[in-house]
Amino acid sequence: MDLEEISQAIPKGEKQRLKRIPADFYLQAEKYIRELEGEIKRIENSRSPESKMLRDEYEGALSALETIFMKRIGKVTEMATIQYFADKPISKDIEKMLPAEKRLYDLVLKGIEAAKTELLGPILYPDSDNVAVWPEIRVEKQISAGFSGKTEAQMGTPAIVTAGGIRAEPDKNNINEEYVVVRILKDLPTFTGADGRNYTVSAEEVVVLPQLNATGLIKRNAAKLIAAQESSGKDSFPGKN
């Protein structure tokens, strides 16, 4: 691979359809960049014409690769957005995507569906039990939403975990903090919380959830706020009578 071959992969024009590139395009580009770096290091005089020529080629290649990536990713996300609102498949360019680009395409589709369920769902389908299921985000260690099998009595008075990590007695003044304690009323599929963590919860578990997610679950009768019950004897969660 060389700079000319990389430049040929740059999409021409904003409306150009996705262009097919070799499956190992980025691997070959990485090999080419490493070779250029090695050649630059071997030149003793960094001010020599040869060194300048290689550095110009190196910087030009990096710039071209970033442009290719940016334009292809923009096209992939645009295709996914248009496809979501279409009644039937609208593009054959999906087969031109690299595997990583296809995964991004699928994630965007799932993300739009989850956002629609969470934001429009309560308005369009107020009686629905549907819960937004965000695309799973891989993390080194998945956070367990439960309290290791502890019962509510063993836990004592439920607490709210604030953004600063302070645990406070629940009352009406801190219900709007970042995290709240709820009891799950039905089994739910794994979902990604507003904090970016994955949560797997089951019926009758007492868990700490981001306030935004807890609000949605409570509105759908999938969870019950414990903190407000302990402090006032009735639900005082925003949007819950």
| Rounded-to-integer distance, Cα 26 and Cα 68, Å | 10
Domain-embedded: residue 142:
no
Helix (H/G/I), strand (E/B), else coil: 192: strand
Domain-embedded: residue 131:
no
pLDDT-derived band at 76, boundaries 50, 70, 90: very high
Task: Determine the average pLDDT of the residues in 64-84.
Answer: 93
Query: Scanning the structure block, which residue is given the tokens 């925003």?
Result: 238
User: What is the tens place of the pLDDT at every residue in 160-205?
Assistant: 333 333 333 334 344 344 788 888 898 888 888 887 788 888 888 8
Domain-embedded: residue 241:
no
Domain-embedded: residue 125:
no
Return the percentage of the chain with pLDDT > 70, whole number: 76
| Rounded-to-integer distance, Cα 87 and Cα 237, Å | 38
- The count of structural domains within the chain is 2
Q: Is 186 exposed, middle or buried (0-12, 13-18, 19+ CB in 10 A)?
A: middle
Query: Scanning the structure block, which residue is given the tokens 């279409």?
Result: 86
Q: Which two tokens mark 204?
A: 């009758």
The pLDDT of residue 21:
94
Domain that holds residue 77: 3-119
User: What is the tens place of the pLDDT at every residue in 1-43?
Assistant: 898 999 999 888 767 788 899 999 999 999 999 999 999 999 9
Domain-embedded: residue 9:
yes
Answer yes or no: do 13 and 93 share one domain: yes
| Rounded-to-integer distance, Cα 241 and Cα 235, Å | 7
More confident residue, 159 or 126: 126
Domain-embedded: residue 134:
no
pTM, full prediction? 0.56
By the 8 A CB rule, do 11 and 71 touch?
Answer: yes
